[in-house]
Structure 1
Amino acid sequence: MAFTQPALGAPALWRVADSDTEIHIFGTLHILSDGMNWLSPEARVAFMDADALIVELSGEEIDRAGPLFTTAGKLPEGQTLRSLVGSGIYNDVERLSRKLGLPANHFMENTPWFTGLSLSVIGLVKAGYNPASGADKFFIAQAEGMAKPVFGLETAVQQVALFQNLTVQQEKALLIDTLKQNAQIDVHFAAMQAAWLEGNTTELDHILNDALKIAPGLREQMLTTRNRDWAGKLMQVLDKPGKFFVAVGAGHLTGSDSLILMLEGMGAPPARIE
């Protein structure tokens, strides 16, 4: 996507600043339709003017993530996915695997969380979405091409640990939600992209984060605690002179426990750029 192409919409963008520091915060989707022109003029200018890019994972950490997730997603010898989630859920996994062109028993030796993540990504690819076209990856590629520093808020090890620390109940809930969503994946993701392009954070919170209510403690672990940690790190960035562009998953910028409200609670309220 070229910087000069007109945007289809204006995903949400915020600004927080003090006397010598300016931070713009942009909510991304990690997977998008190919060829979508989503970069608004305001976001383009904010990114171009920034001295550094801040993302969830730097390019190096993204490269590390794949092998780490694959290894962590393997069950210990003697355990099976069927034994953890039961025959009913496992049979649904087999049916969806066949539908997506995989062997029925493809995930037999994988954890429920890894199975759910994999089925989601494969389902989106089959539906025509491209994992390489995500907004965060776009910003990272542009920053690297401009020799603009890129900093990550987390490491790949930390992100893998998020899933490794889930309870079996939480893992099962996420897998069940994946199986339900896949039945209407086109409708679900089209609605997500539309809300994102419109900057509709209320609808995005509903679409992206309602699934985290399906098991006790899930939203706290996967969203709230991380937002609080990121807000603390951005408060430290505010102590440094310069201009920074932050691009993180749009779900982190919505709801009552958003990164935006966390920063406000710490005394640095970001202003929405309309």
Structure 2
Amino acid sequence: MIPLRAAFLPHQRAFLRRPLATLAAMVLAAAIGPVDAGLARQRPRLAYHTPRDDDAVSRSGAPQLRYPGPDRDDGLSLARKAIPPVEGTVRLAQLSQNYRPRPAIWRIGDRDTAIYLIGTIHTLPPGFAWRTAALDRIVARSRLLILESIEDSASKAATDASFVEDPMLPPLTARVDAGHRAKLAAFVASLPPATARLMDQMPSWIASVAIALVNEVRSGELPGPGADDWLEEQFRTANKPIVAIEDNRQVLAAVNAVPEGDQQRMLHAAIDAPVRSRADMRAAIHAWAKGDVGPDSALSVDLVATTGSAAMAAPLLTDRNSAWTRALIRQLKTPGTMLFAAGAGHFIGTGSVIEQLETRGVRVSRVQ
């Protein structure tokens, strides 16, 4: 049982690393431009002008969202107001959260060191409530934030140039078997020509992620900033240091090195993925927000229920969990309070960071 669903289905936001979300977003932004022209005008922006402003809105579950242009309606979330459907656009649904969010948080450490661990979702629907007072206190106490990667402009440019485009690759339709060729050709034909050309230059595994994201948005989902983005903004605002636990370019290079046959299986799965309801697409996100990380939760099911290639699972998940576990154990030698935030899929199931820490004799306490 290999957790490959994380690599290509709409719930990928729970598991994929932040650079990968950025890469796929490039295609997403281009793909929905001419095809869904009205969506660009409707897309809200999450603003984090000061921690106090964000605190005030997050307690009620409503984000700091503003309408652009003449439709501006201060304080009203796009996700909470029905937008009349317009030809070529998607209809944004209201969020339904009839529970108090309590995402899982763990703690490791001793008398002079505390490292809090929180699994995150890298992109969230605008208006999705997930923060708690306990997390706010941890953020305030922590002197250091540890993330999977840091998305500064320099690293993003290097990542984009090195990993997104390879003009030597064959066209995408030539990389799938005969049974998938017609369906993929129809999808590519629905994209703007420039986007189709870009996808032809993408490694197959990145193209599979882009296909899933485009289909998700066309089904009415609107990806917005994730939990990592909020945490990073709070630490930057407070002038507290932020470090990356890994080199994103090394990870992407390792995935790009996976044999093409394994990458093509991801591409086939993305093409075959059925249209899903919004409730189904968001089930894993709600499970995360509730702190439901048990084996029967939607979050866990998405991670462990799909078989696939171990060659893809290793660089995307298991190898990174092992490296992060070693890094966290080394970090325990440094006094102070720290927060480590990474994709939720890395903290659940067999081989997770939590399990590996415990196997190495580190006491892990669930604090939320």
* TM-score class, shorter: 0.7 to 0.9
Task: Find the residue that maps to 2:119 and give its secondary structure.
Answer: strand
Query: Which letter does structure 2 place at the counterpart of 1:206?
Result: V
Indicate if the aligned counterparts of 1:26 and 1:43 stay in contact, CA closer than 8 A.
no
Question: C-alpha separation between the residues in 2 aligned to 1:115 and 1:241?
Answer: 43
Equivalent position of 1:12 in the other structure: 104
Paired residue type of 2:350: S
**Between the two proteins, what is the percent identity of the paired residues?**
23
State the alpha-carbon separation in 2 of the partners of residues 63 and 37 from structure 1.
31
The residue identity in structure 1 corresponding to 2:265 is A
- Check whether the contact 1:21–1:243 (CA below 8 A) recurs between aligned residues: yes
* Deviation digits for residues 97-142 of structure 1 (CA, Å, limit 9, x no counterpart): 455x5449442333211211222333344433224x1111111111
Match of 1:3 in 2: 55
Check if 1:259 corresponds to 2:353.
yes
C-alpha distance in 1 between matches for 2:148 and 2:135: 18
Q: How many residues align?
A: 270
- Indicate whether 1:228 and 2:322 are aligned: yes
Q: 1:46 — aligned with what? A: 138
Q: Secondary structure at the match of 1:24?
A: strand
Higher relative CO (CA 8 A, sep ≥ 6), structure 1 or 2? 1
Where does the alignment leave 5 or more consecutive residues of structure 2 unmatched?
Answer: 1-47, 49-53, 62-99
Moved more, 82-91 or 11-20: 82-91
Residues 1:78 and 1:141: Cα distance change in structure 2 (over 3 Å): closer
Query: Cα RMSD between the aligned structures?
Result: 2.4
Return closer, same or farther for 1:154/1:240 CA change in 2, 3 Å cut-off: same
CA distance in 2 between counterparts of 1:166 and 1:39 reads 37
**CA 1:118–1:185: 2 relative to 1, 3 Å:** farther
Q: Is the 8 A contact 2:173 2:185 kept in 1?
A: no
1:216 equivalent in alignment to 2:216? no
Is contact 1:80–1:110 with CA below 8 Å preserved after alignment? no
Q: Distance in 2 between matches of 1:268 and 1:95?
A: 52
Q: In the alignment, which residue of structure 1 is the partner of 2:222?
A: 129
Is the CA contact 1:16–1:268 (under 8 Å) kept in the aligned structure 2?
yes
Query: 1:44–1:124: structure 2 CA closer, same or farther, 3 Å change rule?
Result: farther
Structure-2 residue corresponding to 1:81: 172
Offset from partner CA, 1:39-78 (integer Å, 9 cap, x none): 1222221122101101100232x76236524642334536
State TM-score, norm by structure 2.
0.67
Instruction: State whether residues 105 and 366 of structure 2, in contact with CA within 8 Å, keep that contact through their aligned partners in structure 1.
Output: yes
- Structure index of larger Rg: 2
**TM-score normalised to structure 1 length:** 0.88
